[in-house]
Amino acid sequence: MCLAVPMKLVEKENDENGIAELEGVRHVVNISLIDQPEVGDYLIIHAGFAIERLDQEEAEKRLRLFEDMARNLARE
Partner 1 sequence: MKYIDGFREPKAAQAAAEEIKVLAQRLEREVRIMEVCGSHTMAIARCGIRTLLPPNVLLLSGPGCPVCVTDGGYIDTACELARRGICLATFGDMMKVPGSECDLSQIRAEGGVIQVCYSPLDALEYARAHPEKEIVFLAIGFETTTAPVIGMLHAAITQGIGNISLLTAFKIIPPAMVVLASDPAVQINAFLCPAHVSAIIGAAAYQVLVDRFALPCVVAGFEPLDIIYGLCGILRQLVHKTAQVENQYNRVVRAGGNKRAQALIAEFLKPVDASWRGIGLLQGSGMGLGEKYAEFDAEIRHGVQIELGRPNLACRCGDVLKGVINPPQCALFGKGCTPQHPVGPCMVSSEGSCAAFYKYSRSVL
Q: Which residues bind partner 1 (CB under 8 A)?
A: 1-6, 16, 22-23, 30, 32-35, 42, 44, 46-49, 51-52, 54-56, 58-59, 62-63, 66-67, 69-70, 72-74
Smallest distance, Å, CB 1 to partner 1? 5
Smallest distance, Å, CB 19 to partner 1? 14
Cβ proximity of 50 and 64 under 8 Å = no
Nearest to 46 by CA among 22, 14, 11: 22
Q: What is the C-alpha separation between 26 and 30, in angstroms, rounded?
A: 13
Smallest distance, Å, CB 29 to partner 1? 9
**Residue 72, H or E segment:** helix 56-75
